[in-house]
């Protein structure tokens, strides 16, 4: 039952979206959410489309937009609606025209969009974090792939042809250092998010997104790189070389990625406080905070993920932690008191590019130094999962160790089943660790010995 909107309603704090409809002015209501203050809206029926629509009047302010002022604005809008005007479309056209006249460029829009992405909001676990936690990656894509080509254009004048041409140029290599389907896909995804955000009624920098109905790109082939037993042996012992140009903790982190089956973003920032005793047997696990998990959207509860640590994983941690003052297990050699950079492992594997000589390397990567075919840190996670599959461990258990949902169970089952699956994950990880030990301790074949013996003698 509706009642008059009051100041107390507008200034109250809520835990979920709440709407209060005004009795004095039918159709007017105030909406309050946990992250957005009280906002006035008018609900009306469009005389042209015969559809119910919602018109945003503005944010509540005791002086600039009081309840009484909102009622007056709502009554004015209702008069326009009664005359057959589509007030929503009228405002959209006016805003678009204003944006065109003001000349807001794509560069300016990107800057505002980045600010919007990194604005802290309250997350399901109660912490205040950026609205889009991967905003740095998105910002980099927008600045690298879109701004150089479209940045100077007026946002409202960017067409579907501009996006399609840029996409084709990235695919053909006319834009960028080499042809890249991945970059074309990142560009389209970044542009789609940018223009979708810009087309919202509260901004209306553009009328519609120019990314709609573009010809689909070819599908990217999924990565299938898995290290063989010989490559695991070369990789494991090669990381122990004293003359390696890469920091010891970075190399230990690479070993840990293979043993723990964790992602780079989950393992590199491990703090000593996150290590805990798992059970009465004294087994150790790491409590990976919810904010570092990749698949947060698919997790019904914002709880840390308990990842068991095998004896082999604990041996790596003991070597990585060299003092009582060290807070992060894999501490940066450049910035004491901070964890390794999130790209530290991938850079170490591929090497760093030379500043002047294109195509050369300033510091050779571990793959080149050990004569291994190129791979990424995530390929180590896939290799560990493959070892588990080779041991005939059920895929449902492997999924638990990887932090995935059980592929054999409906998604909704995870909402109801809250049982601790750490013992199943421990069984998988301990078997994988035992298999890695067997591989690195097994007699070397002649071709592997030819590679390893010079390395071990160095």
Q: Quick one: 304 and 428 in the same domain? A: yes
Nearest in space to 188 (alpha carbons), one of 133, 157, 150: 150
Q: Quick one: 363 and 265 in the same domain? A: yes
Contact by Cβ (8 Å): 254, 370? no
Residue numbers of the domain that contains 267? 229-457
Q: How far apart are CA 254 and CA 268, in angstroms?
A: 10
Q: Quick one: 49 and 193 in the same domain? A: no
Q: How far apart are CA 181 and CA 210, in angstroms?
A: 20
For 202-232, the pLDDT digits (tens) are 888 888 899 988 888 888 777 889 999 999 9
Q: How far is CA 249 from CA 252, 316, 329, 349, in A?
A: 5, 9, 9, 14
Nearest in space to 413 (alpha carbons), one of 273, 298, 332: 298
* Domain harbouring 149, CATH code: 1.10.150
* Domain harbouring 436, CATH code: 1.10.443.10
Nearest in space to 201 (alpha carbons), one of 107, 68, 86, 102: 86
Q: How far apart are CA 420 and CA 308, in angstroms?
A: 12
Q: How far apart are CA 196 and CA 183, in angstroms?
A: 20
* Domain harbouring 66, CATH code: 3.30.160.390
Other beta carbons within 10 angstroms of residue 7's beta carbon come to 12
Q: How far apart are CA 17 and CA 42, in angstroms?
A: 17
Q: What's the pLDDT score for residue 451?
A: 52
In a domain, 415, yes or no: yes
Q: Quick one: 16 and 81 in the same domain? A: yes
Q: Which of 198, 215, 250 is the last residue of a domain?
A: 198
In a domain, 222, yes or no: no
Q: Among all chains, which residue has been given the structure tokens 């080149």?
A: 368
In a domain, 297, yes or no: yes
CA 360 to chain centroid, in Å, comes to 31
Q: Quick one: 289 and 438 in the same domain? A: yes
Q: How far apart are CA 293 and CA 304, in angstroms?
A: 8
Contact by Cβ (8 Å): 120, 130? yes
In a domain, 208, yes or no: no
In a domain, 413, yes or no: yes
Residue 359 Rama label (left phi>0; alpha psi -120 to 50; beta): left
Q: Quick one: 410 and 285 in the same domain? A: yes
What's 29's DSSP letter? E
In a domain, 93, yes or no: no
Pull the structure tokens for residue 440: 């690195």
Q: How far apart are CA 7 and CA 417, in angstroms?
A: 43
CA 314 to chain centroid, in Å, comes to 28
Q: What's the pLDDT score for residue 359?
A: 54
The pTM score is 0.67
Q: How far apart are CA 236 and CA 217, in angstroms?
A: 39
Number of domains in the chain: 3
Contact by Cβ (8 Å): 180, 166? no
In a domain, 357, yes or no: yes
CA 57 to chain centroid, in Å, comes to 33
Q: Quick one: 278 and 328 in the same domain? A: yes
147: Cβ–Cβ under 8 A, 6 or more apart, which residues? 106, 107, 110
Q: Quick one: 80 and 181 in the same domain? A: no
Q: How far is CA 74 from CA 43, 80, 203, in A?
A: 9, 10, 20
Q: Which of 151, 180, 198 is the last residue of a domain?
A: 198
In a domain, 63, yes or no: yes
Q: Among all chains, which residue has been given the structure tokens 């660790």?
A: 433
Cβ density class 83-103: b for 16+ within 10 Å, e for less = eeebbbeeeeeebbeebbeee
Q: Quick one: 113 and 247 in the same domain? A: no
Contact by Cβ (8 Å): 344, 253? yes
Q: What's the pLDDT score for residue 208?
A: 86
Q: What's the pLDDT score for residue 444?
A: 59
Ranges of residues in the chain with a pLDDT under 50 are 356-357, 446-447, 453, 456, 458
For 106-124, the pLDDT digits (tens) are 999 999 999 999 999 888 7
Q: Quick one: 395 and 338 in the same domain? A: yes
Q: Quick one: 329 and 247 in the same domain? A: yes
Torsion on CA atoms 56, 1, 38, 15, rounded to nearest 10: -130
Q: Quick one: 265 and 379 in the same domain? A: yes
């Amino acid at each position: 039952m509706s009642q008059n909107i009051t100041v107390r309603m507008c200034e109250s704090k809520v835990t979920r979206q709440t709407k209060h409809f005004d009795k004095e002015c039918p159709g007017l209501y105030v909406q309050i959410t946990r992250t957005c203050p009280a906002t006035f809206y008018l609900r009306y029926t469009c005389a042209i489309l015969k559809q119910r629509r919602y018109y945003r009047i503005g944010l509540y302010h005791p002086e600039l937009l009081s309840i009484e002022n909102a009622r007056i604005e709502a009554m004015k809008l209702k008069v326009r609606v009664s005359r057959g005007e589509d007030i929503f479309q009228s405002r959209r056209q006016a805003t678009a025209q204003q944006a065109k006249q003001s000349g807001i460029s794509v560069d300016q829009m990107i800057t505002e969009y980045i600010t919007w992405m990194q604005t802290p909001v309250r997350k399901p676990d109660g912490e205040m974090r950026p609205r889009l936690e991967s905003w740095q990656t998105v910002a980099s894509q927008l600045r690298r792939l879109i701004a150089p080509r479209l940045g100077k254009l007026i946002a409202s004048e960017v067409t579907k042809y501009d996006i399609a041409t840029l996409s084709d140029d990235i695919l053909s290599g006319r834009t960028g250092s080499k042809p890249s389907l991945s970059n074309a896909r990142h560009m389209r995804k970044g542009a789609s998010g940018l223009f979708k955000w810009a087309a919202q009624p509260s901004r209306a920098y553009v009328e519609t997104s120019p990314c709609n109905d573009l010809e689909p790109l070819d599908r990217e082939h999924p990565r299938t790189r898995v290290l063989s037993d010989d490559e695991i042996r070369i990789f494991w012992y090669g990381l122990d070389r004293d003359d390696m140009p890469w920091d010891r903790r970075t190399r230990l982190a690479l070993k840990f990625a293979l043993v723990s089956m964790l992602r780079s973003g989950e393992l590199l920032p491990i703090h000593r406080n996150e290590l805990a005793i798992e059970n009465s047997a004294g087994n150790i696990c790491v409590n990976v905070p919810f904010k570092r998990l990749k698949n947060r959207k698919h997790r019904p509860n914002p709880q840390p993920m308990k990842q068991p640590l095998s004896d082999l994983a604990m041996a790596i941690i003991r070597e990585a932690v060299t003092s009582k003052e060290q807070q992060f297990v894999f501490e940066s050699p450049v910035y004491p008191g901070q964890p390794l950079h999130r790209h530290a492992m991938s850079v170490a594997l591929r090497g760093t590019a030379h500043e002047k000589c294109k195509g050369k390397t300033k510091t050779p990567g571990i793959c080149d130094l050990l004569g291994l075919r190129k791979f990424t840190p995530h390929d180590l996670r896939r290799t560990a999962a493959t070892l588990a599959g080779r041991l005939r461990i059920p895929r449902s258990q492997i999924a638990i160790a990887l932090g995935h949902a059980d592929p054999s169970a409906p998604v909704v089952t995870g909402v109801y089943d809250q049982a601790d699956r750490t013992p199943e994950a421990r069984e998988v990880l301990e078997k994988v660790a035992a298999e890695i030990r067997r591989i690195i301790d097994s007699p070397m074949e002649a071709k592997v010995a030819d590679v390893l013996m010079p390395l071990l003698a160095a």
